Structure 1
């Protein structure tokens, strides 16, 4: 027996429109409700997140214990170290629901990257990161519009006071691009790129392990090296799972804070 190296095939996973035959409900309503493996993982993790919070708070106690205690500690982490740390106590509590929802959604959608049988984060395909980025985008535009009115908020965000008039011709388009286009785009791309790259690296490492192991010659020893590398990278992915959720929620909080003080350049 000699091993063969099979490079990862990304098309069915990341471009499912061309592979309707491999999807559930592909023949229903012209494929509008077709579900591929990655979409099923999204639905499963969304259900797990909802069930955990429902079980934790279905009968809340003044002195929490068990699951309620764990979930409250997680929510308190978001409240204290993201929302209130960036926005202050008053505004932090006001925007906590959206910030916490984004944090836990990103976190739970990241976790399948290291779950055997799933082996991929739904955030490694651009759809979910776009939805999360749009939620953050709406939140910070709402924050600024609520405080200043939409017109004044936009003007305060893109017009820097005390600049020479000619410089506004250059600066205003840059501010419009960086504030209203670049922010949501970078939120989505950062999240997707991290987990797409992580998925590809893990696939390559485990594929190399399989390939080297079955060579049955001097290269077989390399299987041990690639196995160790794969395990270490999986542990690194566990850190990235939390870190990316933290960064995403933190940046949304920062953007909300900037919108609340749009007139303070």
Structure 2
């Protein structure tokens, strides 16, 4: 009976918790904190940086700040393209406008010669052909302007993607060298992106059948007269008149 009431041995004292758990790879440490009830809670905090590491971090933070500024600028409603992009796209627009002018002049010469040869220079049909030629020229100029705007938008979107990637790289980087290289590449992209957009537009025009300029200017004199005849502007003689022009 006496053994039943024998005092039990005291529980062993638990070992003291480690003062700090360090994760050198992750760059953090866990530090114990004693709560009001005596329990222990570990909090995680970043390891103190060395002077060299702090300098690296400062460079990365500067890159992130600059990229964030570029992202905000590229995303703003009043964004204006940089000088390199504007210069390249303006040169492209001037080249295309000159080409349109040459094509329009050649078309006018061909149409007027054909009208004169058929004795129709002062006819209603001639007025309709000239009016259609003017409308086609206006459409062509609008197409060039639209293509320029589309290329500018493409450059803007690609620059925005570059800056977003650069920001993410700097945020995750532990070595500022890679981030600085990416930053230098992004800063040099304006002209290259504009030239690439211009090249793609030229390739599109070359392989497109019919080309953008042919579509805008009208395929031929016969095409203009075909529109006139279809519209009934020439009246009963439309079929005959159209056939005369189509024969040359």
Higher relative CO (Cα under 8 Å, sequence separation at least 6) belongs to 1
- Length-normalised TM-score, structure 2: 0.37
* Pair member with larger Rg: 2
Structure 1 or 2: more strand by fraction: 2
Structure 1 or 2: more helix by fraction: 1
